[in-house]
């Protein structure tokens, strides 16, 4: 009983500490703060846009490929639909997909990496070897080849991307766990004969939350790259997101019509902003949790 109260206390302390750290992480670094604001703006825009800026469902042949005007601040596309509404609605799916994929990928990588490092021995050696092998297979061409065999949609893509990215996270998590493993309290946990899952989940993982957060943003970034890339190549079903807009703007030959260049430029800039915000947030987090990396 007494032991139980002790545990809850310590874990609530951890949450409190994490909140304090998060607050510091958001505010302490100027660039990181800007990144956070951009991401927040994109999230809010994605949430409110279905109600405030609904996407035009009907085409308007009289308004095809118009330049920016009062009603259409970014102009219209090849079917006469408002581009701003598409921009406002185009981030939701990307954000959601990259978040889910990163979550899945982290889960696989962390479980494998942490257990491999703790178990050690031959198992660890083989896993490391396999990860090395896996890392040298070019990922994007592999995705393209896959799409020739299976029809990918957003759900399957998410799973495939998560599975494909296991090796990178595995390697970084493994080396991190190896260094934590050497600390005294882990040795104590082993001497107490606590179970392996307990040591990994309760003792090791909470001490690398910052590290995991950084890798989470990196994974989201590479997911966005893959998804937008595949959409651009026309290998994914076309839905409402910025990558699809680039693809359509491209195939509709917008580059030969500089007046409506916003159709191509706006989603490109939005994707840049989203990725930059993730990278900046990741950098700020890195500073918070690992002061030795400060330069």
Partner 1 sequence: MVMNSTLRYLLKKIFKMIFTIWVVTTLIFVLIRLMPSNPVDRYIEEQMIIYGIGYEEATLRAQSLFSMELDEPILTQYISFLKDVVHLDFGQSLLSPGVDVMSIIAARLPWTLFTVGLGLLSSFIIGIVLGTLMAFKRDKWYEPLVSGFASFLSAIPDFLIAIFLLLIFGVFTFGTGHTIIPITSLRGNYSMFVTPGWNMVFIKDVLLHGLLPILTYMFSQLGIWILLMKGSTTSTLNTDYVTIAKVRGLKSSTILTNYIGRNAMLPIVTEFAMRLGFIIGGSLIIEQLFVYQGIGLELLNATNGRDYPLMQGIFLIMTSAIVLCNFLAEVLYVVLDPRIKLQGGRKANG
What minimum distance in Å lies between the beta carbon of 85 and partner 1? 22
Specify the residue, 18 or 273, whose C-beta has the smaller distance to partner 1.
Answer: 273
Specify the residue, 59 or 268, whose C-beta has the smaller distance to partner 1.
Answer: 268
Specify the residue, 171 or 203, whose C-beta has the smaller distance to partner 1.
Answer: 171
Nearest CA among 121, 104, 115, 107 for reference residue 199: 115
Say whether 192 sits in a helix, a strand or coil.
coil
Specify the residue, 27 or 142, whose C-beta has the smaller distance to partner 1.
Answer: 142
Q: How deeply is 4 buried, as exposed, middle or buried, from its count of CB atoms within 10 A (0-12, 13-18, 19+)?
A: exposed
Specify the residue, 18 or 34, whose C-beta has the smaller distance to partner 1.
Answer: 34
What minimum distance in Å lies between the beta carbon of 38 and partner 1? 12
Q: Bridge-partner residues for 82, per DSSP?
A: 76
Nearest CA among 293, 102, 138, 117 for reference residue 213: 102
Contact 221, 275 (CB under 8 A): yes
What minimum distance in Å lies between the beta carbon of 198 and partner 1? 29
Region for residue 64 given its phi and psi (left: phi exceeds 0; alpha: psi -120 to 50; beta: otherwise) = beta
What minimum distance in Å lies between the beta carbon of 98 and partner 1? 13
Calculate the alpha carbon distances from 105 to 97, 112, 113, 132 in Å: 12, 11, 12, 17
Contact 270, 86 (CB under 8 A): no
Q: Which residues bind partner 1 (CB under 8 A)?
A: 129, 132-133, 136-142, 144-145, 147-149, 175, 221, 224-225, 228-229, 232-235, 246, 250, 255-256, 258, 261, 264-265, 268, 271-272, 275-276, 279, 295
Contact 200, 115 (CB under 8 A): yes
What minimum distance in Å lies between the beta carbon of 159 and partner 1? 17
What minimum distance in Å lies between the beta carbon of 58 and partner 1? 29
Helices then strands, counting H and E runs in the chain, come out as 13, 0
Specify the residue, 209 or 235, whose C-beta has the smaller distance to partner 1.
Answer: 235
What minimum distance in Å lies between the beta carbon of 249 and partner 1? 10
Q: For 222-244, b where at least 16 C-beta lie within 10 A, e where not — what string?
A: bbbbbbbebbeeebbeeeebbbb
Specify the residue, 66 or 223, whose C-beta has the smaller distance to partner 1.
Answer: 223
């Amino acid at each position: 009983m007494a032991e139980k109260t002790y545990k809850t206390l310590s874990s609530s302390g951890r949450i409190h500490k994490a909140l304090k750290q998060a607050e510091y992480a958001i505010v302490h670094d100027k660039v990181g703060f800007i990144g956070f604001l951009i991401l927040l703006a994109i999230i809010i825009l994605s949430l409110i846009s279905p109600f405030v800026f609904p996407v035009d469902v009907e085409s308007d042949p009289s308004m095809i490929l118009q330049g920016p005007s009062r009603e259409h601040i970014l102009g219209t596309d090849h079917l006469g639909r408002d581009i701003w509404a598409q921009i406002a609605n185009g981030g939701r799916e990307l954000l959601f997909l990259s978040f889910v994929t990163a979550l899945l990928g982290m889960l696989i990588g962390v479980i494998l990496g942490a257990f491999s490092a703790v178990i050690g021995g031959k198992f660890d050696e083989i896993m490391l070897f396999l990860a090395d092998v896996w890392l040298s297979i070019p990922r994007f061409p592999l995705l393209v080849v896959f799409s020739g065999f299976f029809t990918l949609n957003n759900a399957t893509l998410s799973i495939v991307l998560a599975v494909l990215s296991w090796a990178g996270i595995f390697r970084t998590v493994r080396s991190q766990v190896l260094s934590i493993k050497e600390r005294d309290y882990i040795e104590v946990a082993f001497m107490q004969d606590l179970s392996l899952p307990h040591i990994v989940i309760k003792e090791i993982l909470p001490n690398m939350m910052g590290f995991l957060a950084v890798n989470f943003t990196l994974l989201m970034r590479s997911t966005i790259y893959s998804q937008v890339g595949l959409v651009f190549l026309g290998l994914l079903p076309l839905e409402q997101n910025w990558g699809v807009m680039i693809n359509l703007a491209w195939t509709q030959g917008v580059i030969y019509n500089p007046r409506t260049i916003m159709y191509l430029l706006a989603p490109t800039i939005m994707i840049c902003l989203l990725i930059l915000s993730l990278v900046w947030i990741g950098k700020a987090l890195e500073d918070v949790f690992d002061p030795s990396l400060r330069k």
